[in-house]
Amino acid sequence: MPDFYSQMQGIAKQLLTDYKQGTMTLDAYAAGSGPVYSPGPPTYTPQPFNGVARGTNAQDLADTMVQVTDLVVTIPADTLIPKLTDRVTIDGSQYSVVKIIRSPAAGAAVVWQVTVRA
């Protein structure tokens, strides 16, 4: 029998699929392949996901890293693990990752709340 968090991952993934907003990808960062002193340009590997994006709210703005113009993107945690070096592309527009919140904070992750900035 699957544990509670595994069930919640499935429910979250289904809801994000049902209510997805546009085309979204998590673009995974990889450093350039050259030597340390001149590594060359980084590469980003797009990983599509079904997610939702919203503007920031007063609770988000209590954190000094977050700005009014930022977006908060909800990403399912079943296969993707975002990093601060990654990018998020929403309908062709690229955004830098500013903040990542794992939900719940302990146990198996169900979703990631990723704050992004243009």
User: Model confidence over 90-104: pLDDT tens digits?
Assistant: 999 999 999 999 998
All domains of the chain in start order, with CATH: 4-32+39-117 (2.40.10.270)
When mean pLDDT is compared over 6-10, 34-38, 89-93, the highest value belongs to 89-93
The pTM is what?
0.84
What SS3 class is residue 85? coil
Residue 41 has pLDDT above 80, yes or no: yes
User: Model confidence over 57-69: pLDDT tens digits?
Assistant: 888 777 778 888 8
Question: Cα dist. 23→14, 47, 58, 96 in Å?
Answer: 16, 11, 27, 16
The answer for residues whose C-beta is within 8 angstroms of residue 1's C-beta and 6 or more apart is none
Pairing of strands 111-117, 71-76: antiparallel
